[in-house]
Amino acid sequence: MAVRHGRPLPRPVLRPHPYFDQPTPLLFAHRGGSREVVENSRAALEHTAALGLTYFETDVHATADGVVVLHHDESLDRMTDTTGPISALTWAEVARVRDASGHAPVRLEDALADYPTLRLNIDAKSDDVVAPLLAIARRHVARVCVASFVDARLARVRIEAPELATSMGQREVAALLALSGLPRRVGVATGARLAAVRSAHCLQVPVRHRGVVVVTGRMLGFAHELGLQVHVWTVDEPSEMRRLLDLGVDGLVTDVPTLAKDVLGGHDPR
């Protein structure tokens, strides 16, 4: 938390949404904690729930028959005993696949049903997955935030399901970063007129991108004035976690949620 004249400043009031009704800073298990368990797997869901965490960051693709599956890559090659793109297989075929934990890939529908304490931050990995994803997510508004690097994909989500929480796309974030460098009043006034700012709820960004520092105190203050939370990925070192928490970020996305939970539990916001 920022400090002025020796006293901590109160956290800003950010845009309300039931998905974000937990006290900040939030802790997101990245793919369920991919340095601690097989990523995006049923074991990862079990791991996150067992830690008592609320937020599970994941990715989704659609099968040939439109079933939404938790999986990062377009293909099954890296994480399972099968090769080829998920989109070329039906769910019945994908259900016979096994990952390194011995389980089949998880349907989004099952993840939400079987782990009711978890809220999912979902990266929509293709245009084809958007429609079936929204059909499910609209039944779980308080438990789903949709993310994507692709601005057009997020714009479609906001038009078709405006009740859902969304993060901001790559170009949207770049525009905000540019505006944050302007004089404060000008930047905030201009940013407040952007469609993405009026409808999104958070930025999910790396600490640095191509050598440029993204997460600064100025950027955080700017985002907060616009009512946006700032979540930072992927943060796995305790010293970096503490530095970012002291800076005032609203959430950490980490591959080591067990470690991050300990760091967050011992963090003094003053």
Catalytic residue from among 5, 17, 30, 140: 30
Is residue 61 part of the annotated active site? The answer reads no
Mean pLDDT of the chain: 94
> Are the beta carbons of 91 and 107 closer than 8 angstroms?
yes
Q: How confident is the model at residue 4 (pLDDT cuts 50, 70, 90)?
A: very low
Output the pLDDT for position 267.
Answer: 81
- pLDDT of 8 above 90: no
Angle value at C-alpha 268, between 263 and 270, nearest 5 degrees = 145
**How is 194-229 classified by DSSP, letter by letter?**
SHHHHH--EEEEESEETTEE---HHHHHHHHHTT-E
Output the pLDDT for position 15.
Answer: 79
List residues bridging with 205 in a β-sheet. Answer: 232
Output the pLDDT for position 9.
Answer: 43
Q: How confident is the model at residue 6 (pLDDT cuts 50, 70, 90)?
A: very low
Output the pLDDT for position 180.
Answer: 96
Is residue 201 part of the annotated active site? The answer reads no
Q: How confident is the model at residue 266 (pLDDT cuts 50, 70, 90)?
A: confident
Question: What residue ranges define each of the domains in the chain, with the CATH number in brackets?
Answer: 16-265 (3.20.20.190)
- pLDDT of 139 above 50: yes
Output the pLDDT for position 105.
Answer: 98
How far apart are the C-alpha atoms of 66 and 90, rounded to whole Å?
8
Strands 229-233 and 68-70: unpaired
**How is 155-199 classified by DSSP, letter by letter?**
HHHHHH-TTSEEB--HHHHHHHHHHHTS-HHHHHHHHHTSHHHHH
Catalytic residue from among 5, 47, 72, 140: 72
Structure confidence by residue, pLDDT tens digits, 44-55: 999 999 999 999
> Are the beta carbons of 55 and 29 closer than 8 angstroms?
yes
Structure confidence by residue, pLDDT tens digits, 26-73: 999 999 999 999 999 999 999 999 999 999 999 999 999 999 999 999
Mean pLDDT of 148-165: 98
